[in-house]
Each structure stands twice: as structure tokens, then as C-alpha cells.
Amino acid sequence: MQSFEATTTLSMTEAEAAVRSSLAEQAFGVLTEIDVAANLRAALGIERRPLKILGACNPNFANEALDLDGDVSLLMPCNVVLTTTDAGTRITAVDPRALISEPKFATLTQDAADRLRAALAAIPAS
């Protein structure tokens, strides 16, 4: 899967706060939050490293995409994933260009990709 990545020495909690702030600066809100590790623990009794999925959405991009093709809602919101590492936290975001290759979405997906890349680039490495 094509994605953007950042790593930081920040804890998962600190990194999540930084990601939310950085996404907001790029006009993305977080619509959903899935604590995968907690859900697997509750459902299966399995212990995993912390893994959280944030569903990020830029309302203007969402509206424009839905105007182009209502079925794009199948791919919304954009996932931003935080996982712990031995050195801190790894943050990845899906590249919207990899999800939608139709030419009519090219400008929109490029704009969204640029903003997601910028959001991750703003996360402090330490």
C-alpha cells in the first residue's frame, strides 16, 4: 500500500496529540478512532503493541469527491495509523492517489496527498 510515513521518539499519546494538531492545520478533522490493540484484547484476549487508526477527513475534499462520484464514500475517511516501536511511534497515512486512480479525481487526490504529507512532515522527530 502506498503511504506516507513519519517516525518520532514521542510516546503514542504525545504523537497522537501532535498528529491531530498537524491534521487540523491541514484542514483535516478526525472523524473516527479505532484502538485496534484494545479491540483485539477485548475480543480475543490477544496482547499486541498499541495500534490506533484515526479516520481523517477534510470536509471540502470530501464534498468535492462526493460530487464527482458518490461511491467514493467507500474509501472515506483517510486512515492515519499510529503504532509503537521500540524507539517511539511510527505514523503512516494512506496516499489517496493510490486509492483512486480515475483521472477526474487527479487534482483532488493530489491536493489531499500533499496535505497529508505535510501533516506528517510537521510531526517532530523527537
Q: Which three cell numbers stand for residue 111?
A: 491536493
Adjacent-strand bridge partners of 7: 90
CA gap 94, 78 in Å, rounded: 6
Is 55 part of a structural domain of the chain? yes
Domain hosting 60: range is 3-121
Please give the model's pTM, rounded to 2 decimal places: 0.93
CA gap 72, 99 in Å, rounded: 10
Q: Please report, for the domain that includes residue 77, its CATH number.
A: 3.30.310.70
Q: Could you read off the pLDDT of 17-33 as tens digits, one per residue?
A: 999 999 999 999 999 99
Is 44 part of a structural domain of the chain? yes
Is 41 part of a structural domain of the chain? yes
Domain count, the chain: 1
Q: Could you read off the pLDDT of 1-18 as tens digits, one per residue?
A: 799 999 999 999 999 999
Is 11 part of a structural domain of the chain? yes
103's CB contacts (< 8 A; 6+ apart) are: none
Is 96 part of a structural domain of the chain? yes
Is 126 part of a structural domain of the chain? no
Is 74 part of a structural domain of the chain? yes
